[in-house]
Amino acid sequence: MKLLQICTFLLTLLLLVSPIFAEEEAETEPTIPVKKYVEFTLSGTYADIKTVSTFSTSTTKTLRGLFKKLDTLKADDEIAGVIFKIDGISVGWATLQEIRTKLHEFREAGKETISYLESGGNAEYLLAATMDRIVLMPTGSLNLTGLRAEILFYKGLLDKLDIQADMLAMGKYKSGVEPYMRDGMSDEFRESMTALLDDLYTRLLEHIAESREGMTVEKASDLINRGPFTAEEAQQEKLVDTLQYYDELLTDLKEASEDKEVQITKPNYERKRKVPDMNSFAGLMQLLSMLNPPQRARTGTAENQIALIYASGPILPDFDSFFSSMSVVTPETLKQAFQKARTDDSVQAVVFRIDSPGGSALASDLIWREVMLTQREKPVVVSMGNVAASGGYYIAMAAGTIVAHPSTITGSIGVFGGKLNMKGLYNKIGLTKEIIAHGQNATLYSDYGGFTPTERERVEKMMKTVYEDFVRKAAAGRSKSFEEINEIAQGRVWTGKQAKALGLVDELGGLDTALSIAKKQAGFADDDKVNLIVLPKQRPFFEQLLEQMIEDTESSIQLKGWKIGNLKGWGFQPSLLPAFHSLFGTQWQHAFTWLSLFGFEDGTQVVTILPYGILIR
């Protein structure tokens, strides 16, 4: 019995003491600290909004989505650094610099940033230059060759087709008609474009100089004149720091931290979705759920709300763009958005983000009216993206505050108009028209002939009225005289930096700057949490499809007097629009916009638009 008591006592003592020994043993075991790097890919196009297409899934990445991801990485205390794999960036000059500004914030957060390039041009290098280290693949190249602006002229093609562009412009620098009536630039067009490119090129040199130690603007200019560079040349000129393959970079990071375990991970959101099994009912329901995702719950209090309204793409009259894969701006859509922001008491201010070359003068004025009415009720702050010119500036000028990036293309206060005389083409392919007209100007909108003298006089009068109204409204919005605005108008384009000096914009900065100003004007404190309501709301694909099936309507765009339904007889199918866009890209967008504007028979031939896209490469 005594022996049993002794054994029980020893067993109990062992159970009580063993955790202490285990804890002491665990404490003595060395733990290896972890150094975590996240691999982040910067590539492709980043736009303000996603385009929703019926027959294809949009692969467009949004700028706000990118910024949210970068903010998450920046705030993660477990992350020591980020490896940015940069490749194939296709964004506008202002968007590029907005991304640069965001990347600079990583240094303030104390995180190491490394850029990896297989090869790169101006855009890729300007992003890489914001990092602590630039790594280039040994067989890659650095294509720093300067900037260029290319303008495509169509007159030669129109001549071959026997089509005459009968067009007029208001404004010394309003070059909208030139691609259709000239083989090359006029002196005024060249002067305007050269001044624009000079400013952008100066900024390119300044960015390179400020990003690389020991680099000056003069040296950067000399290097660009000697580019492009092989990988070895780029390293010799200290444009990059290291030549390594990606696996060598990862090995180098691990070997450089002998006392830490280096982990290379991908962001949590980069999880590939499993493709639904279309052979099962569950898979079909999963597909419908993906096409019609649930609405995200709002955050923040009901009082602290700011509406963020987007206007991306050419400005066109109201029409059903269900089959189009390009983003457009229409009055009815923007009217609904501004009315929602204006009448919702929980919305304290509006940020109007514009990335548009303009378009229909009538549609632009309808949108301007909504901005003006909203500004009377609550603060409206405009944030200009890559381009807010012509009609894009028109819809901005009623806002209380205009913010543009230094590289935003803006201004172009002017109008042009006219029509395409298709008579020669019709005759060439064996078509003729007989016209019976009552009224001296009854054939004004006919495509079977140019303007008569009286018709031309009326068109000039209409255009002059629109131009003077444009200048007058700009003067009122900018608190300047008609003469002051008219002097810097004349259809001339400016960079945001130039526009700020001229008084066409108030502040320089990106979307974050505009949101900060709106928050202040709404009376919010710096530490107040603000909920953004994004308008117009993009409805899920499945909802749009159901509505289209119920309404069973066709687009009402008239192209030279034909409805789209009539064009089917000529081999034109609406479902081909996304295919054309994929094949021809930006040029197709210009062609589609042109046909949309000059195909109407309701006086929309007076337009405020840039007739060309300015893509800096």
Say which DSSP state 569 is in. Answer: G
- How far apart are the C-alpha atoms of 108 and 114, rounded to whole Å? 15
- Tokens at residue 71, please? 């903010």
Say which DSSP state 315 is in. Answer: B
CA distances from 544 to 8, 140, 368 (A): 77, 45, 28
State the amino acid at position 452 in one-letter form.
T
Cβ–Cβ under 8 Å, residues 413 and 171? yes
CA angle 432, 558, 353 (to 5 degrees): 145
| Consecutive H or E run containing 351 | strand 347-356
- Give the distance between the most distant pair of CA atoms in the chain: 130
- How far apart are the C-alpha atoms of 179 and 614, rounded to whole Å? 14
Cis peptide before 314 (omega within 30 of 0): no
- How far apart are the C-alpha atoms of 107 and 113, rounded to whole Å? 8
State the amino acid at position 460 in one-letter form.
E
Alpha helices per DSSP H over 330-400: 331-343, 361-377, 391-394
- How far apart are the C-alpha atoms of 438 and 239, rounded to whole Å? 71
- How far apart are the C-alpha atoms of 370 and 391, rounded to whole Å? 14
Residue of 211, 356, 390, 412 marked catalytic? 390
Q: What is the DSSP string of 126-185?
A: HHHTTSSEEEE-TT-EE------------HHHHHHTT-EEEEEEESTT--TTHHHH-SS-
CA angle 368, 95, 315 (to 5 degrees): 30
Nearest CA to 98 out of 383, 392, 412 is that of 383
- Tokens at residue 176, please? 């909208």
Instruction: Give Cα 299 to chain centroid, integer Å.
Output: 26
- Based on the residue annotation, tell me whether 390 is a catalytic residue of this protein: yes
Nearest CA to 148 out of 188, 226, 93 is that of 93
Alpha helices per DSSP H over 29-174: 63-75, 93-108, 122-128, 155-160
- How far apart are the C-alpha atoms of 427 and 429, rounded to whole Å? 5
As annotated, the active-site residues are 390
